[in-house]
Amino acid sequence: MTYFVIFLGVSFILGALAVASNPSPYYGVVGLVLASVVGCGWLMSLGVSFISLALFMIYLGGMLVVFVYSVSLAADPYPEAWGDWGVMGYGLGLVLVVVLGVVWGEAIDFWEVGVVTVDGGGVSLVRLDFSGVAVLYSYGVGLFLVAGWGLLLVLFVVLELVRGLSRGAIRAV
Amino acid sequence: MNPHAKLIISLSLITGTTITISSNHWIMAWTGLEINTLAIIPLISKSHHPRAIEASIKYFLTQSAASALILFSSMINAWSTGQWDITQLNNPVSCLMMTMAIAIKLGLAPFHFWFPEVLQGSSLTTALLLSTLMKLPPTILLLLTSQSLNPSLLTLLAISSAVLGGWMGLNQTQTRKILAFSSISHLGWMIVIIIYNPKLTLLTFIIYTTLTSAVFLSLNQSKILKLSTMLISWTKTPMLNATLMLTLLSLAGLPPLTGFMPKWLIIQELTKQEMTPTATIITLLSLLGLFFYLRLAYHSTITLPPNTSNHMKLWYTNKTPNTSTAILTTLSTLLLPLSPLIITMT
Amino acid sequence: MSPFHFSFYTAFTLSSLGLAFHRTHFISALLCLESMMLSMFIPLSLWPIENLTPSFTLVPILMLAFSACEAGTGLAMLVASTRTHGSDHLHTLNLLQC
């Protein structure tokens, strides 16, 4: 199980690398989807089921929207995947930076692989993350209101930013 | 802009600033910063001109990357110490990253490239907001964490801001860019003292806010966006131009005016801390700033360029300067005798 | 630093480096931002497990809400820049340089 979680961690890094190495946006979305699915699996294998579920639903739903956007607005005639030389150069450069950081910092201890799961504090009636998220409706209602205010604000921000349909679909100035 | 949207946005600006400056948990500080960033974006892109959109994109990318860095460095701190308290920033790596992230947010010197461009793309009132209100939360975060930050790094940031703010402002003809570089060099003065006397940083911030608000509002009165417009602006509001000269000299920090007070106090405090070389360097660097302030002042009052009309005064009447311009101009010229009172208050 | 810490620190570093270097498309920069947020979400949700503080579990949800806000604003600016500049290439944003 521990090795499976380590495998998920490595796949998570690979997902981030796939986004960071500047491919065409279609493929970048694929990297982000890989990272989010692997992240869900990671949280799930440690027992954080509710937050993992929220991540899965919201992130993959959001990624679908981003994918449609990128197809509609950022259409490249010749999309670059990771086999392309430029993208591969970026990827190798980033890997080199990470390897240099690890070697130079000597920070990583490969033998410290103990995993703390959600049941680390003993088995209880309600799982830890369930009870934690439920606090959002009682003591944490301030945070709930702040998040709601932020989403309302974004509604108005988006409306103000994309206004201008009255002057035609494509606005010259 | 739609009045409902304007209401929501101005409320959010106030809310975000208040949340950040009154929080003691990193998550809430981050939340306030995010709300602030999201709320200012429609104000920057208000005119929907390509330049405005470009300014808002640049602002968004830098600010959201910087706030992600803030959250990440506080998270490193929490993983290593178990603390989410703002004042308990003990991990050295997270201190370093936090200094960088706040420098990006404020526009301190090696990370300042976004600031003049964003100011150039937005209107004068939004530029005023960007250089005063939007700098308050990061400054407060820097004040709260100032005990654990690295002094030599901060001094380096401060001196490089003073250098670049003065130097890059020399070649500009656009008033918003000149004021952006002046803001960068003033930030250098704020940061150089933050370890030794955080109250002085706050005092400098307040005085700088007063001065730059007076300048921005005076410029907005006659719509001065570049030096050539400034040359003929005396035909619109002659009296305001005379006070604009005084305000600009006060921003430069010349002795009988208000702007001298923070510089005086900072130099005194630095010499008390036996940092005379730093004080000398930063004082000499403010001469670079003095050059472009003097040029602005010269263009605003002393020159009489060839004018298009034969009349001395434009025949159409401008709207009269509003009360806040008058109050801020008065404050920014006459406050120096009150400095003992102000020092004891802060 | 255990391998788990290593993996999310590295993921964050990689995606922030990717944002800092040259990007062709604006949406590609937005993807990097999202990836930064994702690689902060995982450790933020593991922190309460490690430290047995259930009430901290609501923080990743809050963070997810605000990263959704950022993504929404970013996509709106993508639309706006496509309308004004004709594309979302970042090298077209050169009107304001000194």
The CB-side HSE value for C88 (13 A sphere, CA atoms) comes to 25
Domain boundary among B147, B182, B212: B147
CB contact under 8 A, A46 and C84: no
Asked whether A165 and C79 are in contact (CB, 8 A), the reply is no
Q: Are residues B130 and B172 in the same domain?
A: no
Query: Which pLDDT score is estimated for A71?
Result: 72
Q: Where are the beta strands (DSSP E) in C2-76?
A: none
Q: Does C98 have pLDDT greater than 70?
A: no
**CATH of segment(s) C3-92:** 1.10.287.3510
Which of A157, A164, A171 is nearest residue B42 as measured by Cβ atoms? A157
Q: Are residues B170 and B263 in the same domain?
A: yes
Q: Subunits with at least 3 CB pairs below 8 A relative to chain C?
A: A, B
Domain boundary among B107, B123, B147: B147
Is the ipTM higher than 0.85? The answer is yes
Give CA–CA dist A118/C46, Å, rounded: 9
Report the first-to-last Cα separation within chain B, whole angstroms: 38
Nearest-CA distance from B174 to chain C in Å?
10
CB contact under 8 A, A156 and B42: yes
Q: Are residues B291 and B206 in the same domain?
A: yes
Give CA–CA dist B339/C11, Å, rounded: 51
Contact residues, C window 24-53, toward A, CB-based 8 Å cutoff: 24-28, 30-32, 34-35, 38-39, 41-42, 45-46, 48-50, 52
Identify the closest residue of chain A to C57 by CA–CA distance. Answer: A132
In angstroms, what CA-CA distances link A147 with A12, A69, B31? Answer: 27, 25, 9
Per DSSP, helices labelled H in chain B are 3-22, 26-44, 50-81, 92-106, 114-121, 124-131, 136-144, 151-169, 175-192, 198-221, 227-231, 238-252, 260-272, 276-297, 323-334, 339-345
Q: Does A99 have pLDDT greater than 80?
A: yes
Question: Which residues does residue C77 pair with via DSSP β-bridges, in sequence order?
Answer: none
Which of B27, B53, B177 is nearest residue C59 as measured by Cβ atoms? B27
Identify all chain B residues contacting A153, using CB atoms and an 8 Å cutoff: 8-9, 12, 35, 38-39
Q: What is the mean pLDDT of chain C?
A: 87
Instruction: Provide the pLDDT confidence category of residue A23 given band limits of 50, 70 and 90.
Output: confident
Question: Which residues does residue B273 pair with via DSSP β-bridges, in sequence order?
Answer: none
Q: Are residues B249 and B335 in the same domain?
A: yes
Query: What count of other Cβ atoms lies within 10 Å of the Cβ of residue A3?
Result: 8
What's the whole-model pTM score? 0.93
CB contact under 8 A, A108 and C62: no
Contacts of A151 (CB under 8 A, 6+ apart): C65, C68, C69
Domain with B131, as residue range(s), is: 1-147
User: Which two structure tokens, joined as six digits, stand for B87?
Assistant: 């004042």
Asked whether A3 and C26 are in contact (CB, 8 A), the reply is no
Asked whether A160 and B5 are in contact (CB, 8 A), the reply is yes
Domain boundary among B87, B112, B147: B147
Identify the closest residue of chain B to C60 by CA–CA distance. Answer: B27
Q: Are residues B139 and B166 in the same domain?
A: no
Q: Are residues B8 and B76 in the same domain?
A: yes
Using a CB–CB cutoff of 8 Å, tell me whether B46 touches chain C. Answer: no
Nearest-CA distance from B158 to chain C in Å?
22
Per DSSP, helices labelled H in chain A are 2-20, 25-45, 49-73, 85-105, 128-134, 141-161
The percentage of chain A sitting over the pLDDT mark of 90, rounded to a whole number, equals 16
Domains: count for chain B? 2
Scored b (16 or more CB within 10 A) or e, C19-38 reads beeebbbbbbbbbbbbbbbb
Asked whether B263 and B255 are in contact (CB, 8 A), the reply is no
CB contact under 8 A, A160 and B31: no
Per DSSP, helices labelled H in A75-127 are 85-105
Asked whether B166 and B183 are in contact (CB, 8 A), the reply is no
Nearest-CA distance from A105 to chain B in Å?
12
Asked whether B91 and B79 are in contact (CB, 8 A), the reply is no
Give CA–CA dist A129/C56, Å, rounded: 9
Identify all chain A residues contacting C84, using CB atoms and an 8 Å cutoff: 171, 173
Q: In tens digits, what is the pLDDT along chain B, a chain of 346 residues? A: 788 889 999 999 999 999 999 999 999 999 999 999 999 999 999 888 888 999 999 999 999 999 999 999 999 999 888 889 999 888 888 999 999 999 999 999 889 999 999 999 999 999 999 999 999 999 999 999 988 888 999 999 999 999 999 999 998 889 999 999 999 999 999 999 999 989 999 999 999 999 999 999 999 888 888 888 888 777 777 788 889 999 999 999 888 899 999 999 999 999 999 999 999 999 999 999 999 999 998 888 877 666 666 666 665 655 666 888 889 999 999 988 888 888 887 7
